[in-house]
Amino acid sequence: MAGHCGTCTACCRVYAIPQLNKPAGKWCEHCAIGVGCKVYDNRPELCVDFACVWLQSHQRARGNELGMPIEMRPDKCKVVFSPTTKDGLMAGITMPGSPDAWRKGEARRIIDMMLKAGLRVVVGPPASTTKIMLTLNSEREVQLTEPDENGMQWSINE
Ligand code: SF4
Ligand code: SF4
């Protein structure tokens, strides 16, 4: 997480942070939920570098170009979207307790926009290597590899 996130701290729950021994899907011990990071100035590189799709849209926004609406913020739509290390592949990690959030509402609108733009989207809960791969015309289960040393799960056994 970074500045401009408002009261969202969703990424501090869904992702694994190996440097903190923090598993995916559990709140980080340094997170003031809905407030921010209690160790902001000393947070790990992974946290410094991370910006979800919603935050990126606000970092880019200027002039008449607006960022994504607040209803699409991960704590509201219950899915944290981010680019992956694979070209054209986005990831949507659902918040614990909301495994179907990607099927409806604002999260689904985000997915549909991505698919229409020619992207693929892999969705599913944190800490599970079983995810759903979405394309404009298909939906199928895929198996991800175990997280790498950075806690990412973006390799897919296709
Ligand atoms: S999920 Fe996005 S908006 Fe929410 S705290 Fe993380 S970077 Fe900020
Ligand atoms: S160290 Fe801070 S920014 Fe990183 S996951 Fe924990 S609460 Fe979030």
Condensed to tens digits (0 to 9), the pLDDT of residues 52-107 reads 999 999 998 876 678 999 999 999 999 999 998 888 999 999 999 999 999 999 99
Strands 79-83, 36-37: parallel, antiparallel or unpaired by DSSP? unpaired
140 phi/psi in degrees, rounded to 5:
-150, 155
Q: Given pLDDT bands bounded at 50, 70 and 90, which one contains residue 12?
A: very high
Query: pTM higher than 0.85, yes or no?
Result: yes
Higher pLDDT, 157 or 145: 145
Task: For residue 152, name the pLDDT band (cuts at 50, 70, 90).
Answer: low
- Closest residue by Cα to atom 2, ligand 2, is 37
56 CA distance to ligand 1 centroid (A)?
9
- Alpha carbon of 95 to ligand 2 centroid (Å): 16
Nearest CA to ligand 2 atom 8: 12
Which residues lie across from 138 on neighbouring strands? 135
* pLDDT score, position 63: 67
The confidence score (pLDDT) of residue 110 equals 98
pLDDT of residue 77: 98
User: Is the model more confident about 23 or about 85?
Assistant: 23
CA of 58 from ligand 1 middle (Å) equals: 11
How far is residue 15's CA from residue 18's CA, in Å, rounded to a whole number? Answer: 10
User: Residue 113 — very low, low, confident or very high, per pLDDT cuts 50/70/90?
Assistant: very high
Q: What pLDDT shows up at residue 144?
A: 84
**Sequential DSSP letters for 23-71:** PTTS--TTEETTTEETTGGG--HHHHH---HHHHHHHH-BTTB----GG
